[in-house]
A = this chain, B = another copy of it.
């Protein structure tokens, strides 16, 4: 999101996190702006029954956990490292000052917030109204568009059925069956269990 040089100039520091480590969690107070420098982070909610709902996967360059920077409430969900990762952190007050002095970056930030809202709007409508196959298609389309979790060379979708289930609210078995059906309809391709989407 924000250039690394800019962040460092404003006093940001690097922090290493190990696979499975929780970077921040629900209801916790917020002190830092977070941006991923390397690795992979997932953005999750744990519901009352202990089931994970995955909101998104964060890629290097993207920021995460930005809600409390603006509305002073605690975090709404948790961020967990999928693998060993590196995070750049900037103190909340410095971050807000940065936005104030750099309106261009501020507007870029709004653009990012807006795009996240757009995606949530779309997904919400689909999750609420559509059947399981449709839900999965929509999610794959999103990953295709955002070039997330898809191998740029071979179009392989680098997500397990379980992860897709955790993003759509479906069960693994339902995801497996629906994806088989999508394969039969020719919308995706399954080879030795691996899923490939059509060329972009």
Q: Is the CB of B70 within 8 A of A127?
A: no
Chain A contact residues: over half helix, strand or loop, or mixed? helix
- How many identical subunits does the complex contain? 2
- Does A60 touch B at the CB level, under 8 Å? no
With A67-B114, A113-B114, A128-B168 already in contact, 6 other A-B pairs whose C-beta atoms are closer than 8 Å: A71-B111, A71-B114, A103-B103, A117-B117, A120-B121, A120-B124
What is the minimal beta-carbon distance from A199 to any residue of chain B, in angstroms?
24
Query: Which interface class (under 10, 10 to 19, 20 to 34, 35 or more) fits A?
Result: 35 or more
Contacts from A to B (Cβ < 8 Å): 45, 47, 51, 53, 55, 66-67, 70-71, 73, 76-77, 96, 99-100, 103, 106-107, 109-111, 113-118, 120-125, 127-130, 168-169
What is the minimal beta-carbon distance from A73 to any residue of chain B, in angstroms?
8
Q: Is the CB of A128 within 8 A of B129?
A: no
